[in-house]
Amino acid sequence: MSFNKKIIIGARGSRLSLAYANYAKKLIIQKNQLNANEVDIKIIKTRGDIFPKTPLSQLGGKGVFCKEIENELINKNIDIAVHSLKDLPTIQTPNLKIQSFIERNDPRDSFLSLDKQIFTKQKKGSRIGTSSVRRKLQLLNLKNDLEVLAMRGNIDTRIEKLKSKQYDGIVLAYSGLMMLGLENHVTEIFPTETILPAVGQGIIALQCRENDKNIISLIDRVSHKETFICALAERSFLESIGGDCDTAVGGYARIEGEKIKLEAELFSDDYKKVFKSSKTLHIEESQILGNSVGNDLLKQAGNNYKKKF
């Protein structure tokens, strides 16, 4: 396949984002038999990168890592946007399409500690850093005598904060550590039965303009069918509950033969209660599954949870 112009991939400038972009570039070149010089990567600064110390909720939520990249896509300065799926807002941006999902990496959360002891062996009052309200609540449910603190920054920055003893332990997505070859820092990997991950965790999403048929055909070739099905279920679930950056929610779908199973949990708005649901349907009903699990959790929560949209 040959294109009349160079294909431009847009991504954030962090080391992890560039690793995702380069991996996507490699797959696109391989699957479409392109030359390496036909595809370039453009670094785009996002609001989330410009204000690394400000809590995400104050900046406007998950979209702070995506909006500027999406604007470049809309303005045709790039052809493909690379995102971590869990960073994408629930509602899609008009005229853009999340077209392709690269095969999912390990979705689990991991724990890194100074003393190399697992999470439940941490001393009372230990300072644990995480960027996620979901993780904070899940961690305190496992062990409630710790101090779980908010933290920002890329993976390297967070690991340095741990090494400099600002925290006794930190929790990071294992997929990012794997991508950067930093698995040796990990003390413990939480089973999904213990810590349910964020919706879309471990999935790289490729976004394009919805009418760009050439790019759509190109990135369709790198999309992973099973990951696509699971992503649809998880995203449908998140949309059904009206979840956004402030929603403490976890969700994980996996395929078992011809069936897809979705497990999810939702914390109440006051963070004092947790509601759980798990259902299984045929893989062709992934979106129906997501909606069903979401409606089940909404019914359980009642007045304890208010949809954000």
The answer to whether position 197 is within a domain reads no
40 shares a domain with 175:
no
**Contact partners, residue 50, CB within 8 Å, separation at least 6:** none
pLDDT over 90 percentage in the chain: 86
What CATH number should be reported for the domain holding residue 282?
3.30.160.40
**Which tokens belong to 195?**
């810590």
pLDDT at 59: 43
Q: Are 208 and 216 in contact (CB under 8 A)?
A: yes
Q: Long-range CB contacts (< 8 A, 24+ apart) of 246-251?
A: 246/57, 246/61, 246/133, 246/308, 247/308, 248/133, 248/134, 248/137, 249/134, 249/198, 249/199, 250/134, 250/138, 250/195, 250/196, 250/197, 250/198, 250/199, 251/196, 251/197, 251/198, 251/199, 251/293
The answer to whether position 253 is within a domain reads yes
100 shares a domain with 12:
yes
84 shares a domain with 16:
yes
Q: How many CA atoms lie within 13 A of 300 on its CB side?
A: 18
The answer to whether position 210 is within a domain reads yes
The answer to whether position 230 is within a domain reads no
pLDDT digits (tens, 9 = 90+) for 208-250: 999 999 999 999 999 999 999 999 999 999 999 999 867 999 9
Domain of residue 81: give its range.
7-104+202-223
The answer to whether position 30 is within a domain reads yes
Domain count, the chain: 3
Q: Which of 79, 87, 106, 168 is catalytic?
A: 87
Global model pTM greater than 0.85? yes
87 included as an active-site residue: yes
Tell me the helices (H) and strands (E) count for the chain, helix number first. 10, 13
17 shares a domain with 70:
yes
292 shares a domain with 241:
yes
Question: How would residue 266 be classed by pLDDT, with cut points 50, 70 and 90?
Answer: very high
pLDDT digits (tens, 9 = 90+) for 33-92: 999 999 999 999 876 555 555 555 554 555 667 889 999 999 999 999 999 999 898 889
